[in-house]
Structure 1
Amino acid sequence: MSLMSLNDKYYSCDVAYNIGKSFWGKWITVEALKVVILYMIKEIGINRIDAKHNTLNLA
């Protein structure tokens, strides 16, 4: 999991991650993202997070 495109002016960033296909739909990244998002908001001051997903991952 990575924070990318950090923007100091707008306090925003992109989140990126890769996870093996066999782990799709198991809520692993959902749980990890919850922790990362809380950290970004409370500790870093991020107020906008952009993310994209793989459209083949229906979960």
Structure 2
Amino acid sequence: MNIDFLTDARSLITLASFVTFAGIIWWAYVSHKPADFNQAAMLPFADGDIGQPAAAEQDGEVRHG
């Protein structure tokens, strides 16, 4: 095999990997709405289904723990 061919192949693979990485970063940070991130940030604090009160709150009983 020719060394120039291997160098060119490695360069193309590196370029394709960088473009893929940049695309993933763009998709993760640019294409989503900030409201999606705000909703996801509140998930650890959710006490049931998002947007619906928990069953205990519907009965007027508040449970802690």
Q: TM-score range by the shorter chain?
A: 0.3 to 0.5
Q: Give the helix-richer structure, 1 or 2.
A: 2
Structure possessing the higher radius of gyration over alpha carbons = 2
TM-score by length of 1: 0.33
Q: Give the strand-richer structure, 1 or 2.
A: 1
TM-score by length of 2: 0.31
